[in-house]
Amino acid sequence: MKYLTVALAKGRLAELAMDMFESIDMDCSEMREKSRKLIFTDEKNKMKFILVKASDVPTYVEYGAADIGIVGKDTLLEEGRNLYEMINLNFGKCRMCVCGKPEMKDKMFSVNNLKVASKYPHIAEQFFRDEKGQTVKLIKLNGSVELAPLVGLSDVIVDIVESGKTLEENGLEVLYEVCPLSAWFVVNRVSMKMHTERIMSIVEGFRERVKE
Ligand code: PRP
């Protein structure tokens, strides 16, 4: 039997994804041991797991280097890859929001060339263009995005809000909610045809365990 390969987004989502796979009796013990290995095998179930940067999960899945991926909706929206989004796993829940200093709330949609910093330039640009008909100046950052409005790099940010603590501790707030986010189970289009039965049995197992 061929190995099915699963790409997991490194970090918190990977831990929660492992819980899911273990709940359907797959073996993630090798991956739980903190090591520098990148590929983990469950011989009994003929599964391989690879740990990759979140933004690379859709790439591995689209090209078929992984049959399955577990990744946040934020990454799927940003990357816009060609794959099947099979089930919303409903964990890793958070929100994509426009955030900034409170005084921006009333004026941000009327400012010309509003400066928007984000790790998600496509989501940000699309939101302002399609939903608000507004042209903005996008500034791509790779982390600690909340700094941008504090040091005058941008007027607002488009970023993930989970507990809201980062905003609160930096005197910023949610100005507008763009969309809710959570982890998704995604599948390569060819893999879905070649291994329908095996993939669907995983999907069914997960579906029973998805918490509303
Ligand atoms: C994410 C996100 C926010 C923060 C939100 O950043 O970009 O900064 O978490 O979480 P909170 O609402 O619970 O405070 P991450 O921790 O991934 O680090 P980064 O800023 O370096 O990307």
Q: What is the 3-state secondary structure (H, E, C) of 23-90?
A: HCCCCCHHHHCCCCCCEEEECCCCEEEEEECHHHHHHHHHCCCCCEEEEEHHHHHHHCCCCEEEEECC
Q: State the chain's maximal CA–CA distance in angstroms.
A: 60
- 8 Å CB contact between 5 and 50: yes
The angle subtended at Cα 137 by Cα 131 and Cα 140, nearest 5°, is 100
CA of 6 to the centre of ligand 1 (A): 25
Output the ligand 1 site: residues, CB below 6 A. 143-146, 159-166
**What 3-state DSSP class applies to 82?**
coil
Determine the pLDDT at residue 211: 79
Determine the pLDDT at residue 155: 98
Residue among 160, 165, 167, 177 to mutate when testing ligand 1 (max atoms within 8 A of CB): 160
Structure token digits, residue 31: 């991956």
Instruction: Indicate the fold that domain 94-180 takes in CATH.
Output: D-Maltodextrin-Binding Protein; domain 2 (3.40.190)
The count of residues in the chain is 212
**What 3-state DSSP class applies to 51?**
strand
Which residue CA neighbors atom 10 of ligand 1 most closely? 162
Determine the pLDDT at residue 27: 95
Write out the chain's pLDDT in tens, 212 residues: 899 999 999 988 999 999 999 999 999 999 999 888 999 999 999 999 999 999 999 999 999 999 999 999 999 999 999 999 999 999 999 999 999 999 999 999 999 999 999 999 999 999 999 999 999 999 999 999 999 999 999 999 999 999 999 999 999 999 999 999 999 999 999 999 999 999 999 999 999 999 77
DSSP 127: I
Ligand 1, atom nearest to 165 Cα: 14
- 8 Å CB contact between 160 and 124: no
Determine the pLDDT at residue 92: 95
CA of 63 to the centre of ligand 1 (A): 29
Determine the pLDDT at residue 184: 98
CA of 144 to the centre of ligand 1 (A): 7
**What 3-state DSSP class applies to 65?**
coil
Chain centroid to CA 15: 14
Ligand 1, atom nearest to 161 Cα: 12
Which residue CA neighbors atom 1 of ligand 1 most closely? 160
Percent of the chain with pLDDT over 70: 100
Closest CA to 72 of 87, 95, 92, 86: 92
CA of 152 to the centre of ligand 1 (A): 19
Determine the pLDDT at residue 201: 97
Determine the pLDDT at residue 162: 97
CATH 3.40.190.10 in the chain, residue ranges: 4-92+182-211, 94-180
State the average pLDDT for the chain: 96
Ligand 1, atom nearest to 164 Cα: 12
Q: Indicate left, alpha or beta for 164 from its phi (over 0: left) and psi (-120 to 50: alpha).
A: left
Residue among 140, 162, 167, 173 to mutate when testing ligand 1 (max atoms within 8 A of CB): 162
Q: What is the CATH number of domain 4-92+182-211?
A: 3.40.190.10
